[in-house]
Amino acid sequence: MVILGTSQGMRVVDLTQLNTVLLRSSGPEILDITLPSSPGAQTAVIGKYLYEGNSFATAEHGGTHVDSPAHFYEGGWRVQQIPMKKLVEKGVIINVKQKTLIDPDYRVTVEDLVNYERTYGPIPDGAVVLMNSGWSDKYPNPNTVFNTPTPSDPKTFHFPGWHENATAWLMKNRNINIMGVDTPSNDYGQAKVFPTHVLMGKHNIIGVENVGFLDKIPESGSTICVAVLKLKDGSGGPARVFAIVEENKEVLASCSESLLSEVFLMFSLIPLVHRLIGQ
């Protein structure tokens, strides 16, 4: 996919937070990784070359990661069952940054989705729909990410997410592949019963959380790739999330005729990307 982007004048934008502290919806954990300076690390000099082999352990649902539908719904896809073509699709970025400045417990509404479509047209089939709340700048400090002085206590969390009415509207009215957020959970910080997670699982919609750097891509016109670690029977897993956008393309807040032509070009490349990954 990198070769495709380069040859077509595209650039690749990393949307993945660096894993040092695992920011889970239940609170932070230290990433358990054995490095060369740690006991048990594997390093050796072989001829003229240094060989290094580390080990690490991680929760499925920490850092930038995928929620497979099985995470909150019995019978939903597990990680290895997710079709590859579901993980590469058109990006839709719902910008609610101004609203979260006023209310950190803000939840994306149906009105936000309708307003997006007034600007860019209908959310396309197969879309990767991501909330941009501006939360990316708060990483990796757990106190700012969870917006509390006690990030080990979920009752004190205050961060935005999806309202279940908006989630239900997408399930009923649009044919999307993935929903995600730039915060620790698709349900907002004060959620108690996680209705968005349940709805997504029921409809085999893939979740992605702790996405970063969404200001670096346009709200419409990107292709987003969610490269989840293929864990057998996993309810989720770490993911490298990235976007492919046109080189030197401005990040615009409104649509124009030239932007529409660029969007058409980008979307026309998606079937080729699917063929390259063998699906």
CATH number at residue 104: 3.50.30.50
pLDDT for residue 248: 64
- Whether 53 is covered by a domain: the verdict is no
Q: Can you read off the two tokens belonging to residue 167?
A: 């989630």
Comparison of pLDDT for 100 and 255, the residue scoring more: 100
Residue-level pLDDT at 3: 33
* 39 in any annotated domain: no
Residue at 46 is within a domain:
no
Whether 99 is covered by a domain: the verdict is yes
Give the range among 40-49, 209-218, 231-240, 241-250 with minimum mean pLDDT. Answer: 40-49
pTM of the full structure: 0.82
What pLDDT digit, counting tens, does each position of 23-78 carry?
555 555 555 545 555 555 566 666 677 777 778 788 899 899 999 999 999 999 99
In DSSP terms, 14 is beta-bridged to 242
- Encoding tokens for residue 275? 């063929």
The separation between CA 28 and the C-alpha centre of its own chain, rounded to angstroms, equals: 18
Query: What DSSP letter does each residue of 212-274 carry, written as one string?
Result: --GGGS-SEEEEEEEEE---TT-SEEEEEEEEEEETT----SS--HHHHHHHHHHHHHHHHHH
Residue 37 lies in a domain: no
Q: Is 80 helix (H, G, I), strand (E, B) or coil?
A: helix
Q: Which domain holds residue 12?
A: 2-23+59-276
Q: Is residue 48 part of a domain?
A: no
Burial 238-248 (b: 16+ CB within 10 A, else e): bbebbbbbbee
Q: Which pLDDT belongs to residue 157?
A: 96
Residue 49 within a domain: no
Q: Is residue 17 part of a domain?
A: yes
3-class state of residue 14 by DSSP: strand
DSSP letter for each residue of 172-198: HH---SEEEESSS-SS-TT-SS-HHHH
Strands (E) in 4-150, as ranges, are 10-14, 21-24, 27-30, 32-34, 42-46, 49-53, 55-57, 65-67, 88-95, 107-108, 128-132
With CA atoms as reference, report the closest residue to 197 among 20, 15, 18, 26: 26
Count of domains for the chain? 1
Tens of pLDDT, residue by residue over 92-114, are 999 999 999 999 999 999 999 99
Q: Could you give the angle at the alpha carbon of 234 between the alpha carbons of 230 and 238, nearest 5°?
A: 55
